[in-house]
Amino acid sequence: MEPDGSRATDVEVVLSNYRIINRLFSRDNAKFSEPDRDFILGRAFTDDEGKIEMTALSATNSLFYLTIYRDDQPLQDYRINKKSFTNLELLIPEVPIKEELDVILVFQSSTGVNNDLDIQIVAESMDCPLLYENGTFQLPSSIESFECNPQFIGVPASENPQQAPVTTLAPSQMEVSIFNGTSTTTSTIQIDANTQTYVINY
């Protein structure tokens, strides 16, 4: 499913025993494992209804990776626990696609006085592959996967911002805490693919 809820058609889906998108701290990195241990096990394209059927090779790994490609570029990847396979078959009802999105946070004073602000933003990790386990996709814990730690973005009061650009994922959730010198206001924002500007009152 696309971030806007529509069906993702004509995108390539690749099953492998290694992580094709290998990033640390939002940067592409070389793979850690030896090439002769890494295999693409199968690939297919979604049809007009966003569905695929794939016959793939098997491997002894405990984790597999599903990677979504658009225009020959890897867009997003997912971890799949081998326990999710039943008699070497895997049925996933729906795969959610998230996309990178640049948003603007606008900070609006309820009193009309624009004080120096100390702003802390907590956003979803850009590098975390969702884990498919027990029939659902979920965020792994930071213990299972350190790249799944949230992004902590600080905006110092010295910059006196009335707005801040943030790169995040859509759909996702973001928490914004604003300290205006006397009190802290915390807001939770639901980020969607169709909205790029969010007004936060403090």
pLDDT one-digit tens code per residue, 124-179: 888 888 888 888 888 776 556 677 788 898 886 656 568 888 999 999 999 999 98
First to last CA, the chain: 35
Q: Where are the domains of the chain?
A: 12-84, 99-201
Give the architecture (CATH level 2) of 99-201.
Sandwich (2.60)
Would you state the pLDDT for residue 122? 95
Residue with tokens 């996967």: 145
Would you state the pLDDT for residue 175? 96
Average pLDDT, the chain: 82
pLDDT of 192 > 80? The answer is: yes
Angle at 146 between CA 194 and CA 139, to 5 degrees: 45
pLDDT one-digit tens code per residue, 87-112: 778 888 888 888 889 999 998 888 77
Nearest Cα to Cα of residue 78 among 59, 94, 58, 89: 94
Q: Rounded CA gap, 50 and 7, in Å?
A: 5
pLDDT one-digit tens code per residue, 66-78: 898 888 888 888 8
174: left (phi > 0), else alpha (psi -120 to 50), else beta? Answer: beta
